[in-house]
Amino acid sequence: MKIVGDSEHFHQPYDKNDDYESRADAKREIVIYQELGKKLILLSKSQIERLNLDEIVYDNVLKAKTIKINTEAYRRHLQYIGKLMRYVDIEELQLAMKNVLNQNSNESAKTNVADKTRDQLLNEGDPAIQALIEKHPQLDRQKLRQFVRQAKKELTKNADITLSKTAKELSKYLRNEITE
């Protein structure tokens, strides 16, 4: 008969094992993987392609986009993606996702600057073109003048700038050429 205060009585086999992970810790880790999988599913296909994911993870993330949300199949598929995510370097993936999302916001900012510059060129004409050329000497003055002239012609026929093909081309040219 052992004494209750005996130290062997309280000794658990996992006390000597530094790699022990409780079930609660394992579940928390699984939830992190599933949440990352949900974030992946919310990205567009072009964003997902830029992440350079493992082929199996990539295919299953795209497959999850085809399953109806709030269904049992979707929930199970998220769990499966979470299981696949265990073999992915999470820090590297999170950094890549951050870069992809930041890249999209930079593109939006570039588009906004180009649209504002286009509107200024269309409203002010040659003085605005001259100021823009002084600020960005790599731009082609003749090309800008042709775009502005043609866009103004199109705008006299149709007052909506979003329908003007030349105005869209001018915005695209500005977005590609202005590097700020």
Q: Is 84 part of any domain?
A: yes
Whether residues 172 and 137 share a domain: the answer is yes
Same domain, residue pair 80 and 39: yes
| pLDDT the model gives residue 2 | 47
- The reported pTM is 0.51
- Asked if residue 117 and residue 164 are part of one domain, the reply reads yes
pLDDT digits (tens, 9 = 90+) for 71-118: 999 999 988 998 898 888 888 888 888 888 887 677 777 778 888 888
Q: How far is CA 91 from CA 60, 71, 96, in A?
A: 20, 30, 9
H helices present in 43-89, as ranges? 45-50, 55-64, 72-85
The Cα–Cα gap between 7 and 66 comes to: 57
3-state secondary structure of 7: helix
Structural domain of residue 33, as residue ranges? Answer: 21-88
Q: Does the residue 149 lie in any domain?
A: yes
Residue 69 placed within a domain: yes
Say whether both 117 and 83 belong to one domain.
no
Check which CATH number belongs to the domain holding 117 and give it: 1.10.60.30
As for how many domains the chain has, the answer is 2
Is 99 among the domain residues? no
Per-residue pLDDT of 29-80, as tens digits, reads 888 888 888 888 888 888 888 888 889 999 999 999 899 988 999 999 988 9
Residues 27 and 83 in one domain: yes
Q: What confidence tier does 1 reach under pLDDT thresholds 50, 70, 90?
A: very low
